[in-house]
Structure 1
Amino acid sequence: MAAVLRGIALTLLACCTAGQRAPRITQDMLPLQVSGRYVVARDGCTRVKLSCINWAGAHLRKVVPAGLHMRTPDYLAGALADIGFNCVRIVYALQMLNATKVDPLWVGNAAASRDAWVNPQLNGLSAIKVLDQVILACTRAGLAVIINNHNSDLGWCCGDNDQNGLWWNDRYPHKVWLAHVRDLTLRFSKPEYKGMVVGFDLRNEIRSSEVAGRWYVARWGRGSQEEDWRQAAMEASEYVLRNSQMLAIVEGIQYAAVLCMLAENPLPAWMANRTLYSAHQYKWTQMGLMVPTMVVNGLSTPVKVWVPSVLVFGVFIIRLKKLRARFCCLATVELRKLRMVGFAFIAVGVVLSLLAVILASLRQCSLMWRFTMVGLEILGCVFLLSGTGCAMWSFVRCCSFRGVQRRRLRIQPEAEEDGLELQRHLQGNLSPEEPWDQTPSSLRDGCCVPRHTEVSGSARQTFLFIIVLLPVCLLVSGSFVLYVHSSRWLGQLEMATKWGRFLHSEPPLPVWVGEYGPGYDTDRDAQFHYFIEGDMDLAYWQMGSENGRRQDGTFNWDSYGIFSLDYNATNLQLPDSVMSLIRQTFTPRVTSVECSKT
């Protein structure tokens, strides 16, 4: 019944939000500027809420924005405007700028022969000229455009070892990056773009990186010239701000997940009214969700959780030697001890996990505390899984032992068994070191059953436990930790600690969430609730559902994409429940601010 009511509620919500659109950004509002935490129009009074979507593809080996092999740029831009977005973040790689030839497949029709072109006007153009046509299509649809230097080299972002974590590498040094910022700023300030290229997101997800065999740590306001992102962003912003039409957008460090450094060292005052800070928000950027997500997904479980858990569990099994020698009843001392140890481990795991998530929520700005939190999470998961395994093992053994005992006693009555044992004792078959226990067998801790029965039963039980029960324990424990960590108030506390608090600091700072994507239902609810209540400027990741083509001709699939693989505007990939949440972020709660002339 609850599921039916929830479905009805989601359907009604989708119907109510289907017509929601972000307020259009018109030419009379340009150029945009910043006042406090808000982006405002040219008059300095009218709030302009950026409700954007990422249009990826030009940072990949196909070197052109996604969807052009199926639809025209005008169709795609118009579809995005009809959904309700008012701006587009178009990403590209430095290597793309030098691509003089585009594979006709990516501007044709992947489902037909190469003679059936969807975009014949794009055939033969260089990659940068194809990008020009896409941006012009966006301006015709009334969409503002923010360009973003996503990578240096072509490829999917991001990784620690892709040599694209910093704004430079040995193939595209610092001076080349600065020169490209200058050139694109001049290119997109031309009259044909009508001032609708409103921002330049200087670099995507700055992070520590290995370049030419040396490891460089991304820093803010300190370190060498090769590591100081603040200084590099200031140099690039000079070129952007010379063009009165564009805002400079500077992302945080550590994959744009944190802006903690702004508390002590923001950008200088001369950039204040023309600069946005940018953060990215995914479930994997929430440290409190990192290890539990690994457990549930089974990605790093063998190394980080499974092996330590099995080792800890194995130590207890090996220590309890009597389990290998005889069957035990529910009241067996060894099994009771094992069960109590399991419960104690579970309690310790819960405490460690809760402590870890509190640290994750409160101390995001300290690298030392973040490493401490990760260690506590791993240790907490190990205790949870080991404790669950120990407790489950004791119950399985007890239940199976009692069943074997009952079958044994039906075949060999207790009186006959006790009589045979007395006869053996009188005949001297028992050794002097083996005293005769006159207690009835049904009341003893150990049950006299043949050894071969015990061994075969134990082997079967161990096999079933390892194959069936322990993975179940793994998923149950991991899901419990994930549920605790992804609760709404903890997720929102973590986002506020990392970057959200600067929207309400004194003075407030403008923060634009340049990428976000829905994760599990629990953290999705926390994420969207925080965005809607905070009236935030956002950019959803992403428009397309493919992020490149494999060797066999099939597509890599991105579950976050709004459009399905055919890029049909009437056939959206995302469920209505998610689309309704996205549309709820379009409506600004604040429409005007205290006027500030610049």
Structure 2
Amino acid sequence: MMFRMFVVNILFLTNIYSYELPFSTLGNSIIDANGAVVRMRCVNWPGSMETLMPEGLQHNSIDNIVLIIKQMNMTCVRLTYSIDVTRSSDLTVYQSLSRLNLTFALQGFMNNNPSLINSTVSNIFNTVLDTLGKYNILVLLDNHVSKAMWCCSDFDGNGFWGDRYFDVEQWIDGLKFMANKTIDRPYVIAMSLRNELRGVRQNQPHWYHNVVRAILEAISFVNPRLLIVISGLNYDLNLSFIRSLPVQNLVPISIQKKIVYEAHWYSWSYYGLLSDCNHIKDTI
């Protein structure tokens, strides 16, 4: 099979419902159900830190935050989460902030989102997803880490399967847990398997094994309409190895057009300040 890198083009859209869901891939594009090329403008909303919920709710209401995103002309949110939230889903907001001694954050949350203070952290994700859908914003759910913390380093225990906090079975269960949230929310168009795999344990055989397992046993098993976003190695700077063996060759035909590869580029990625992300594409 000829390999192509799938890239989300970043352009402004006035209304996501000009597209027909669900999405799939064709060549190097994401397309809608009618074959139209999908273009999105996306923003990252972190939800993978120690509080086990999306950030900023001590400063503003969920509705207001989503309205700000809308006013910025964004049409898509990459909402990150940790596997910890899927394993502590019954923890309430009050309990989560209290255990961390976040007194000011607790007061701010009660001021800005008072009706949710006794909601579970899992339900906070539900409410955020529902609010994004209400304002016609597409969502990519991103598994950022296993142990809730800031990402990333080579030695944080979150980098690769088998690391201190990166248990394979817990990860699979966590993906299933979050995938179930997408079933009745068609505007959640994609899930990523894991952000920025890295560290001394990283290797290609385990990468292929666990990527394919997560696709077949978790995401596509729970919700086959989802796009599946796959990160490479070395902080997602290296996807060169899929030129010789694309994941599409290892999954059923029905899933092949749901595969999206992501590559990351930063000013500190050793490509030079004048370079751009085409450097990554050229190595694939």
Distance 1:162 1:113 in 2: 31
Q: How does 1:514-525 map to 2 (within 5 A)?
A: none
Distance 2:134 2:120 in 1: 21
Q: Say if 2:1 is the partner of 1:22.
A: no
For residue 281 of structure 2, what is the aligned residue in structure 1? 499
1:168: how far off?
A: 4.6
Distance 1:142 1:272 in 2: 27
Distance 2:61 2:80 in 1: 18
Distance 1:49 1:501 in 2: 24
1:104: how far off?
A: 7.1
The residue type equivalent to 2:39 in the other structure is K
Distance 1:115 1:232 in 2: 38
Check whether the contact 1:74–1:141 (CA below 8 A) recurs between aligned residues: no
Q: Normalising by structure 2, report the TM-score.
A: 0.83
Between structure 1 and structure 2, the one with the greater Rg is 1
1:154: how far off?
A: 1.2
For residue 272 of structure 1, what is the aligned residue in structure 2? 256
Instruction: Identify if the C-alpha distance between structure 1 residues 83 and 109 changes in structure 2 by more than 3 Å, giving closer, same or farther.
Output: farther
Distance 1:164 1:203 in 2: 10
1:125: how far off?
A: 1.4
Runs of 5+ consecutive residues of structure 1 not aligned to the other structure:
1-19, 210-215, 223-227, 290-485, 503-598
Q: Say if 2:29 is the partner of 1:49.
A: no
Check whether the contact 2:160–2:199 (CA below 8 A) recurs between aligned residues: yes
1:283: how far off?
A: 1.1
Distance 1:281 1:27 in 2: 30
Distance 2:96 2:157 in 1: 29
1:36: how far off?
A: 0.7
Instruction: Identify if the C-alpha distance between structure 1 residues 130 and 116 changes in structure 2 by more than 3 Å, giving closer, same or farther.
Output: closer
Distance 1:88 1:115 in 2: 22
Which of residues 222, 231, 237 is equivalent to 2:209?
A: 231
The residue type equivalent to 1:29 in the other structure is E
Check whether the contact 1:70–1:109 (CA below 8 A) recurs between aligned residues: no
Distance 1:116 1:184 in 2: 26
User: What SS does structure 2 have at the residue aligned with 1:71?
Assistant: coil
For residue 185 of structure 1, what is the aligned residue in structure 2? 179
1:263: how far off?
A: 1.7
Distance 2:108 2:232 in 1: 43
Superposition CA RMSD, Å: 2.6
Distance 1:104 1:84 in 2: 35
Check whether the contact 1:70–1:110 (CA below 8 A) recurs between aligned residues: no
Which of residues 130, 133, 138 is equivalent to 1:139?
A: 133
Check whether the contact 1:146–1:198 (CA below 8 A) recurs between aligned residues: yes
Distance 1:105 1:162 in 2: 22
User: What SS does structure 1 have at the residue aligned with 2:197?
Assistant: coil
Distance 1:143 1:53 in 2: 11
Q: Deviations over 1:94-133 (max 9, x none)?
A: 1122331324796999489579621112111111111111
For residue 149 of structure 1, what is the aligned residue in structure 2? 143
1:186: how far off?
A: 2.1
Distance 2:25 2:232 in 1: 18
For residue 481 of structure 1, what is the aligned residue in structure 2? none
1:182: how far off?
A: 2.0
For residue 68 of structure 2, what is the aligned residue in structure 1? 79
1:500: how far off?
A: 4.8
For residue 111 of structure 2, what is the aligned residue in structure 1? 117
Which of residues 152, 160, 184 is equivalent to 1:158?
A: 152
For residue 257 of structure 1, what is the aligned residue in structure 2? 237
Distance 1:176 1:116 in 2: 32
Instruction: Identify if the C-alpha distance between structure 1 residues 174 and 118 changes in structure 2 by more than 3 Å, giving closer, same or farther.
Output: same
The residue type equivalent to 1:50 in the other structure is M
Distance 1:55 1:248 in 2: 19
Q: Deviations over 1:40-99 (max 9, x none)?
A: 0011x211113211100x211122211111111111112112211111011111112233
Count of aligned residue pairs for this structure pair? 263
Instruction: Identify if the C-alpha distance between structure 1 residues 27 and 167 changes in structure 2 by more than 3 Å, giving closer, same or farther.
Output: farther
Distance 1:153 1:127 in 2: 15
Distance 2:154 2:233 in 1: 13
Distance 1:178 1:115 in 2: 31
Q: Deviations over 1:281-302 (max 9, x none)?
A: 11112x244xxxxxxxxxxxxx
Which of residues 178, 201, 220 is equivalent to 1:241?
A: 220
Check whether the contact 1:167–1:203 (CA below 8 A) recurs between aligned residues: no
Instruction: Identify if the C-alpha distance between structure 1 residues 27 and 158 changes in structure 2 by more than 3 Å, giving closer, same or farther.
Output: same
1:176: how far off?
A: 1.8
Instruction: Identify if the C-alpha distance between structure 1 residues 112 and 159 changes in structure 2 by more than 3 Å, giving closer, same or farther.
Output: closer
Instruction: Identify if the C-alpha distance between structure 1 residues 112 and 121 changes in structure 2 by more than 3 Å, giving closer, same or farther.
Output: closer
More helix by share: 1
Identity of aligned residues (%): 21
Which of residues 9, 26, 29 is equivalent to 1:35?
A: 26
Q: How does 1:19-418 map to 2 (within 5 A)?
A: 21-26=12-17, 29-43=20-34, 45-56=35-46, 58-99=47-88, 100-103=91-94, 110=104, 117-190=111-184, 193=185, 195-209=186-200, 216=201, 218-220=202-204, 222=205, 228-238=206-216, 239-242=218-221, 243-269=223-249, 270=253, 271-285=255-269, 287-289=270-272
The residue type equivalent to 1:498 in the other structure is I
